[in-house]
Amino acid sequence: MSDAHKNSAGLLDFPAVCVQDAFKATLLDVPSFKLPIGACLAITGPSGAGKSLYLHALFGMLAGQEGDPILDSNRGDRLIVQDPSSGLTPGKTLASHLKDVTHEPADKQRFLALMNELQLDPAMLGKKPNECSGGERQRIMFALAWFNSPVVLACDEPASSLDYEREQALMQLITEFKRPTLKATLFISHRIRLIDEFASHVLLIENGKVTYFGDNGSFRKQANTDFHRDLIHQRQTSVKAPKIDSKGPNRLRAELVLPHGQRDKVQIRLDRQDWLWVLGPSGCGKTTLMNAVVGLHPAISGEIFLDDQAIELNFEARNIQQRQAIHLVWQHAAQTWNPALAVKVQIERSIMNPERLPSIMDDIGLSDIDLNRLPDAYSMGELQRLSLVVALLSEPRVLLLDEFFAPLQENLRQRVVTHLHKWMREQNFSVIVSTHDEWLTQCFPAQVLTLSSVDNHV
């Protein structure tokens, strides 16, 4: 197979890519195309369209894939995967990862300068990946890839875990800070703002097929599909849950000192059918707070009350009813699925109310997917929503969503929020959602808890 480094009149040749499943059904069909040297290609499309599948196919990462990869790390190409927990070795400190790419004393100083550009504290080099936030891991993966002098740099949703300031810093480095070796940059995104600001070319994939390829200037003028039109005319309608006149006990009260990130006391007071946004920059402790509430990463000190009854800080010390009452949907949902079992089997084993499964699947845009596949056959956005289905059918009293909306395009965000408010009223549960996206909290008004350097409470 020809490689993408072939220079033809100042162009990079990307051969056609076709991916089929075990039954020879076509999952992805991308024709060949050319990119100018130095181009920045945005790959976009709806959740499950095949965007990540395309990058994995370029790098020869698919099971049973034959022939030489189009992009190859042995030739200097680099891929930054969407899930930062899978891009770093869990047992090694970040300093150990750094030793793999730095060989001279001056290299370390240049790497520390790059960390500064990415707003990363050098002290974190002593940590292991699981001790860092998702946004911190994403930026570390970029720094390691960038330091390796990439030829083609491919990034799968590189800024999905970052607040606006850090997102801009990372994207500017990706697209503007040129290295002599760099011939092209590819990045996946569903955010039209990032595509407008940073892409020179756009590849739009829908249902495994390309519906647009060309320069960014023409992208807004040649919308031929409903998704394309929705993408370039993104508008959000505010969705606000009606306030319930709650005369009963608080659904959740918590006063916690967290072990990582925010060190000041965090206070939460949540009524029945309340919605709370937890807002803050990467590394401030949003995920730590979610884990502390569910009891998986207990707080240093504090107390939690569920329906005015005290519960233990440690998940293991709680009774079965208390464990089931608070359900967490993780930031990177792939970690919570058994890779060897079909998703349908796992859902059936986990839920309490199976008759509601078809209607919920339809509500959040999953009615057409085949549940008999293994988890790695689904996109990140599909797995996030499947995890939400399991959580809802487990009938929680408090639902925690950690950066849940990051991998979803805008129309899906609005659809899911609208239905969550409906389910919240029907099932009488409360919701806590962590996010770095302040714009999201403005589109869907509710209580906001901002983690910062001062005492936090709601």
Q: Up-side HSE of residue 234: CA atoms within 13 Å toward CB?
A: 16
pLDDT of residue 454: 40
Q: What is the mean pLDDT of residues 72-99?
A: 87
- Classify each residue of 378-414 as buried b or exposed e, where b means 16 or more C-beta atoms within 10 Å of its C-beta: bbbbbbbbbbbbbbbbebbbbbbbbbbbbbbbbbbbb
- What are the φ/ψ torsions at residue 206 (nearest 5 degrees)? -135, 125
Strands 326-329 and 209-215, sheet pairing: unpaired
Rounded to an integer, what distance in angstroms lies between the CA atom of residue 254 and that of residue 302?
7
pLDDT of residue 260: 66
Query: To 10 degrees, the CA torsion angle through 112, 114, 120, 121?
Result: 20
pLDDT of residue 409: 84
Those residues with Cβ within 8 angstroms of residue 74's Cβ, 6 or more apart along the chain or in another chain: none
* DSSP 8-state assignment for residue 2: -
Q: Which amino acid is at 310?
A: A
Q: What are all long-range contacts of 291-297, with beta carbons under 8 Å and residues at least 24 apart?
A: 291/328, 292/256, 292/258, 292/259, 293/252, 293/254, 293/256, 293/268, 293/326, 293/328, 293/398, 293/400, 293/432, 294/326, 294/327, 294/328, 294/400, 295/323, 295/326, 296/328, 297/259, 297/260
pLDDT of 241 above 60: no
Q: In what order do the strands lie in the sheet with 152-156?
A: 17-20, 26-30, 209-215, 201-206, 39-44, 184-188, 152-156, 78-80
User: What is the tens place of the pLDDT at every residue in 362-397?
Assistant: 999 999 899 999 998 888 889 999 999 999 999 999
N- to C-terminal Cα separation, the chain: 58
* Cβ proximity of 416 and 385 under 8 Å: yes
User: What is the tens place of the pLDDT at every residue in 142-176?
Assistant: 888 888 789 999 999 887 777 778 888 888 877 77
Q: What is the mean pLDDT of residues 14-21?
A: 92
Rounded to an integer, what distance in angstroms lies between the CA atom of residue 244 and that of residue 150?
54
pLDDT of residue 6: 55
Any bridge partners for residue 270, and if so which?
Answer: 252
Q: Up-side HSE of residue 391: CA atoms within 13 Å toward CB?
A: 26
pLDDT of 247 above 60: no
